[in-house]
Amino acid sequence: MSIDNGTCQLSFPLREEIPSAETLIVRDIDVVGVGALRRHQLTELQKTKKFILHTHEEMIPESVRSIYEAELLRTLQWLRPVKTEKKDAFDFIEEQHKLFPQIFPRTHQALGFTVNKIRDMYLDEMEWSSWLLQDHWRYFVGFLRQKFPAKPELMEVAHWEWVQAWIEIQPFDLGELEKNSIIVNPSLQIVSFSQENSVLKRDKGMYAFVYSSEKATVVERPLDVYEAKIIDLLQEDRKYTPEQLVQMALLSDEITPQLSSMEWEKKYLSLCQDAILICVS
């Protein structure tokens, strides 16, 4: 979007070529409190661009105003805009109409001629309870489940797309990691397909999504029953070293055929390689 003074406003999620203008406008409703991929994108842009931050304090729901204000202060510390400007109210519905097909492109297409009706019904029923525009769609998969209980493929497509959109913006705290320890990536989300999904061209089964800080992207991969078991073990209260994890996995006699210790280790290392697990040596 071009602005009269020669600057350009960034549109999120970032899917298009970055404007050539030296100074870019970003909005609080797109950037305050974000982490993961979106924060990485903004941090990379800081190397060559300057930011003007537009804020809309009067539009933020009262229920989250104090949290928003705290997150705004934290965001200013790393975003370092050259200027912060308070702006007038924006058209919330119009903004969501533009955002919906960007978050849910395949869902948008799969809904066909009902898409506008379903989108508007959701916007009518759901009160805005966040400061980020994108967060407003976090209940959409459940909403679809109520409207189309006989169409699991549609819900699974929407879940698939929402998980990726959610991971792209969430801040994830790893906390303090002990040496020679393993944890599940805090961004991990699982999407299960009850049948082959023709829209996404994915087989029946479980798929893991995480944000990889090393690759600066959302990683997706299928999970087999052995990998799912390793994740289950690590989501319990007990902590494991790699050796202890392999030994505990060997006791999982409910899974057949059973794997050798070397095979379990390969599964564990594969999960580490794709950032499903965070491994500290």
- Predicted confidence (pLDDT) at residue 196 exceeds the cutoff of 70: yes
The sign of the CA dihedral 145, 147, 148, 150 is: positive
Q: Is 85 left (phi over 0), alpha (psi -120 to 50) or beta?
A: beta
Residues of the chain above pLDDT 70, percent: 98
Q: How does residue 5 score in pLDDT terms, banded at 50, 70 and 90?
A: very low
Q: Is the pLDDT of residue 281 over 90?
A: no
| Partners of residue 2 on adjacent β-strands | 8
**Residue 4 pLDDT exceeds 90:** no
Residues facing residue 221 across a β-bridge: 208
Mapped onto helix, strand or coil, the DSSP state of residue 11 is coil
The pTM for the full model equals 0.92
Burial class for 191, CB neighbours closer than 10 Å (0-12, 13-18, 19+): buried
Q: In this predicted model, what pLDDT tens digit does every residue of 15-28 receive, in sequence order?
A: 878 888 999 999 99
Instruction: Give the dihedral of Cα atoms 38, 44, 45, 48; nearest 10 deg.
Output: 180
Residues 232/182, Cβ–Cβ less than 8 Å: no
Per-residue model confidence as pLDDT tens digits over 157-190: 999 999 999 999 999 987 777 788 899 999 999 9
Alpha-carbon span 231 to 225, nearest angstrom: 10
The predicted structure's pLDDT at residue 17: 83
Best CA proximity match to 226, nearest among 196, 187, 192, 270: 270
pLDDT of residue 34: 98
Could you report how far apart the first and last alpha carbons of the chain are, in Å? 46
Confidence class of residue 6 from pLDDT cuts 50, 70 and 90? low
Quick check: 1 pLDDT over 50? no
